[in-house]
Structure formats: structure tokens, C-alpha cells
Amino acid sequence: MNNPENILQIESSIRNEIDGTDKMYNLLTTADDIRNYYDENGYVILRNLIPTELCDEARSFFKTEVKPYDAYLYRQASSNPEKHILTSYGYMLNSLLNIQDLNTDRFPNFKKLGLSILTHENMHEAVCTILGESAKIIQTMFFEGNPATWAHQDTYYLDSSELGRMTAAWVAVEDIQPGAGRFYIYPGSHKIDISQNGGDFDIAFNHSRYKQLVLDIINKYQLECRAPNMRKGDVLFWNSKTIHGSLETLQPQYSRSSFTAHYIPASTQHLQYQRQLRARNLKHIGTFQIEHPKDQDKLKNQIILSMEARFPKQFQLLKRLAIKAILK
């Protein structure tokens, strides 16, 4: 049953966005406006950045190429290979991880359209404005249903080698309904120092402590939650240290189709878990270099995915032990 307090909170947040903050986004017309708002608030929204035709095509090819696929694909929340998990309304709940790694022969059009959106010339201009230089893409995702993501900072999981310089983008490829699980952010939270990944807060065996720490920070500083009104083609950019997540689903009849990408300055390197530098199989796509950590066009990676799917418990334990070793 839906919690009335949650409904009121969401409706209030959306009303505030429409009546107040939402109008501010339309006033951000120059590069300086965009950069200053982003630096102060830890996020910015650029309206109509992606052509709606591209959004429609991407959703269409998702339905015809990806949705019918009944084998394993890597997923955003777990980083593990899983089959589709569908909601009662038939929406994919376990989001896709790294569109660029999808097998080109199986998903040619969805992969092409997704990457066309995330490397679009308008995205390149916006990212350069925010970062002050060109960028590399180190991770991408696609969402249809809402996994209700916990409040977190991306820097805990991945960032640039200069912590706090990564920016991420959430691209709405349909109009996101109020109760579909809207993206939320806590403005200004990028200015608060939170314990780094490791020790009592490591992701390998103490992830739940980190999640609770973030909630404690939100309460301690009485941070404001904003769940912006996002329409097809709108893009929300946020700083790697900005606390964010997605609201619970109160209207399960609606999807919230969207792409996400994480961009780091080209002059920096990919830092994983705030400890380990990564540079995994960079390829040029458009004006961006994009990491392909598990490129499924390569037979070696296809075999690894198959083995991970066949022996999930063993692989997941090995991953956690390897991460723990990195974080010591």
C-alpha cells in the first residue's frame, strides 16, 4: 500500500520544482550560467537537450531487440549477469549496465541509438561546459522500470582520479510521471565530506553501513530533496559527490525510460572505489572515448559472462574478496 506521507512528499517536491526551481532552469542560457549553477548546487538540468526523435527510436529498439532477449546481461545494481526481472506491468526492473558492451549483432540498433544519445553533440557541449574540457565516458546504463535506488554519492563507487571532477547525466527518453520513481538530488550535498570507501564502510562487506551513513548525513544537515520534473529529451547532470537516488514507485503502471552516463575529464583517469585506477579498452565513439570493460563483441568476454551466469555465488564471492583486498 502506498504511504500517504510519501505521496505528499513527492507531490510537494514536484510542485516546488514547477512553481519555483523549475523556472530557474529555463534561465540558464549561457555557459557561465550553467557552470555557476552546477558548481553551487551540485547539479543542473538542461531542457530539450536531446532530440525527441532519438528518444523515441531508442525506446522502440529496446522493445524490439532487448526486451524479448531471454538470456543473461550485465545489470547496473549488482554488476552481475542476470535475466530480465519484470514488474507486474512488464517493465524491466534490473537496469542494463554499459550499453557500449552489448553484443552488436544481437542489439545493433538499440546500442547504436543509446550511444548516439549519450555522445550527441549537445551532450558533448554540455559536458565540456561543466568539466571545462573534453571528457571520457566510463560507464553507461539504461532504465525502464524503477529499481528505487538508495541515496548515495557516485564517488563511493567510481570517480575521476581527481575526486569530485566526474559528472553524470540522467537522460529522460520519455516524460517521467510523478509516481514512476523520479530521480532525486540533494542540492549542495557535494560540499559535504563523507567517509571514503574502505574500513568500516567498504563496499565489499559493509555496504549497508555506508547507506546508513548517507541517510545520517541527510538528517544531520537537514538537506532539501528535489525530485525534478523531467520530460523527454531533458538531461540532469550531477556531480560525483552529490547525494542522489530514485524515489519509490507509487504509480507502477508507468515506466521511467532513461539513459545514464558517467563522464570524467579527458585529462584524468577512472578511479574505482576511490582506490584503483582503471583504463579498460577505450574506444572512440563520436567525440568521446568510451571504456568497454566487458565488450561482448569479444569471444573472451562472452565466455566470462557465461561462466559468471553459471557459477554466480563463486564469482560474486571472488569479486567481494578482490574488492576487499583493493580497499585495505
**Tens-digit pLDDT profile for residues 280-309:** 789 999 899 999 999 999 999 999 999 999
3-state secondary structure of 245: strand
Query: Grid coordinates standing for 104?
Result: 552488436
Query: pLDDT at position 197, please?
Result: 46
* Report field, pTM of the whole predicted structure over 0.85: yes
3-state secondary structure of 76: coil
Query: pLDDT at position 2, please?
Result: 39
How many Å apart are CA 170 and CA 165, to the nearest integer? 17
Q: Which residue has the cell 549542495?
A: 188
Instruction: Identify the segments of the chain with pLDDT beneath 50.
Output: 1-8, 10-11, 13-16, 18-19, 197-198, 204
Rounded to whole angstroms, the maximal C-alpha distance in the chain is: 53
Query: pLDDT at position 206, please?
Result: 64
How many Å apart are CA 265 and CA 165, to the nearest integer? 7
Superfamily of domain 4-327: q2cbj1_9rhob like domain (2.60.120.620)
For residue 257, what are the contacts with CB-CB under 8 A and spacing of at least 6?
59, 62, 142, 143, 144, 172, 173, 174
Q: Which of 258, 56, 248 minimizes the C-alpha distance to 143?
A: 258
For residue 241, what are the contacts with CB-CB under 8 A and spacing of at least 6?
42, 153, 154, 155, 163, 164, 189, 190, 191, 192, 194
